[in-house]
Structure 1
């Protein structure tokens, strides 16, 4: 079901191709928002979709996922006929994202029902690892297709690939039998008690801040490597692959930490480890790269990809913590709906980062100042990535403040 996410995670290849082979009408710089818009729209729609399929339409999850696969295929097919830049934004950035969300939301709800509190974070982590497997293989696939056939034929071939794999995946995922049988008898109302408690908002703000910077390297790293450090297209594409590969292990690793089976770490601590480490990677590695410094960019891609890529796997621990708080207050909580809202916060972050990326790129120095990445056109983007990443762990500071007040 993550085959469609491969496009968003590998969009930097398309971004670099559009920059070097511009044939459409409109502002070329607008293509920079497509990758982050795809992620933003997909995650922003999830709270509404999770609300629909968690109870009221639980029986229609598979039908919805199949409709999502059809919408995704249609959007990529239409995008291959684009003549203006806004056509790409509408089809790849919006339509494809809605299709992906229709696949992801029902199937993820079923996953959450199969696993209990004790192993839920690990389950989410393993599934998210699959997303990174796809994101690791797609950059070179897209590079070959674009170089050999151009973006129009490449998108049509991707349409066939996405359609076949998505439909097969949807049919293979079973719906939890207890969910289906009980959906008839239980109330369709969703408990919203958690909205009264500050813990939910602490984590939501942290997710928004972290996500606003996470999509920046996915979109611009390929172009930065090719234009600023003068690396070849093959080397630049390799960086995007190396960015996604560590997430295969990171998602499972941070999911394991969040379940507290062997290490007694709070959800805020685990998320802070991810956030601060990825911020240091952006400031000390990406920012200090210079012309031809392939080794430093490889190190950045792998470290940032590991720590930032594992951030969403900490949400299983966040949900477990909110579930414990609800139990202490004797309140009901719908973990599926809660997970959907956390994804919605991620969507806000993606959209914010995408909209900020274009003016930040314009604000960068048109002529290189010094020999490091900070002095290039991409300098403001690097700083924004690091700052937004570190603030993704601000929940730990909030917890310390509360402990000192007690």
Structure 2
């Protein structure tokens, strides 16, 4: 490691506050958890809006295109995170984090508000998915950097698990809120109220986060370390992340619509499926984060838990008789929500492995930036999955399975989701086998 990097790392450790300051630790976790509402409330509940768009003539345009709004919203958020995290994790621009977050609140709330007057599907795509997604990213990215920096000395994976758990709390509550708003006030007024919620909770969350937590950014600017890009580990985890995420966004987008069309459930029961999907993640995100911090298991092994669990839930619960038996669809929502929601909590373990590799090779690494790149890989998966979902619905049923849910018009989409879960996990297995092979060669 170069002298400049050593000096920087020493200064950084000196400036990073000790996790023993419990009051600030609680406030940072509380503020970052509160900010999950404006960041993820709409993306995780968009299936309710989409179901409304499909059943009411609110905007002109092909109804199949409304499915692109939710996946594009997630895609824009995840794809723009690498750029923002790279810029805001550097010493030169780190002092702008709070300003960027506040600008994100204003952009997101304004975009959602203006979208309430949309008359075409493409208006919603531009305003809610692109502009709203960008504003949400400008708010979310600084919060992840606050967590990364504050918990750099320990329990980082658990801290990420706590904030991701809060994200699932949001995903549990907002479907009921949005359904009630749409049912009582109409979809356009519901969007306007949501814009106000984004504005209020966004500023409240930034107020709760101590300003001192953003004061650790007074560092001497230095070159961004890109050496991690020369390691195979980064690419294996990124590919696994993208493949898994291509399927992960589809149940979130189509589950409510599936419940309404195949089981003919009411709007409130369809919304309940989204809530049931998110409830188990409240605990599983923290559990997987704790495993990544405290367990003797390798990051590759921990990753197998959410990926294999998700795949089995898709193939044996969603794909069988869920189109006829509501209990099976509920079990799928619980099972898939438990495992798939916890997948993001494995990333801190991946980063820890990349840190170890960097240390072994005397290289510097910006963990906040790497976390942003992991989100970027997920964004690639969301975009691919969103575009694939529209085409998979056109493909429709798997003809050889007329008795099962595979035989419905969602059959191809179900198969795609399950394959993405399994393949995403097996991508990580290669990393595990590669390390075992290296150890065997060294022993010989």
TM-score, with structure 1 as normaliser: 0.96
TM-superposed deviation, 1:308? 0.3
8 Å CA contact 2:398–2:406 kept in 1: the answer is no
TM-superposed deviation, 1:196? 0.4
SS where residue 3 of structure 1 aligns? Answer: helix
Asked if residue 214 in structure 1 is aligned to residue 248 in structure 2, the reply is: yes
Which string of whole-angstrom CA distances, capped at 9 and with x for unpartnered residues, describes residues 366-392 of structure 1? 999623210000001100100001122
TM-superposed deviation, 1:240? 0.6
Aligned to 1:17: 52
Residues 365 and 22 of structure 1: CA distance in aligned 2, closer, same or farther (over 3 Å): farther
Distance in 2 between residues matched to 1:175 and 1:36, nearest whole Å: 34
Q: Which moved further from structure 2: 369-378 or 379-388?
A: 369-378
Aligned to 1:244: 278
> Considering only aligned residues, what root-mean-square deviation do their CA atoms show, in Å?
1.6
Asked if residue 188 in structure 1 is aligned to residue 218 in structure 2, the reply is: no
8 Å CA contact 2:73–2:130 kept in 1: the answer is yes
8 Å CA contact 2:398–2:407 kept in 1: the answer is no
Asked if residue 115 in structure 1 is aligned to residue 151 in structure 2, the reply is: yes
Distance in 2 between residues matched to 1:115 and 1:348, nearest whole Å: 28
**Aligned partner (choices 335, 338, 356) of residue 388 of structure 2:** 356
**Aligned partner (choices 315, 330, 351) of residue 283 of structure 1:** 315
Residues 291 and 112 of structure 1: CA distance in aligned 2, closer, same or farther (over 3 Å): closer
**Aligned partner (choices 319, 324, 349) of residue 317 of structure 1:** 349
Superposed counterparts of 1:262-301, under 5 Å: 263-301=295-333
TM-score, with structure 2 as normaliser: 0.88
Aligned to 1:228: 262
Distance in 2 between residues matched to 1:254 and 1:240, nearest whole Å: 21
Distance in 2 between residues matched to 1:204 and 1:117, nearest whole Å: 25
Question: What stretches of structure 1 of length at least 5 have no aligned partner?
Answer: none
Q: Which moved further from structure 2: 167-176 or 101-110?
A: 167-176
Aligned to 2:429: 396
SS where residue 386 of structure 1 aligns? Answer: helix
8 Å CA contact 1:230–1:292 kept in 2: the answer is no
Distance in 1 between residues matched to 2:199 and 2:96, nearest whole Å: 20
8 Å CA contact 2:397–2:406 kept in 1: the answer is no
Aligned to 2:14: none
Superposed counterparts of 1:137-152, under 5 Å: 137-152=173-188
8 Å CA contact 1:215–1:354 kept in 2: the answer is yes
Q: How many residues align?
A: 402
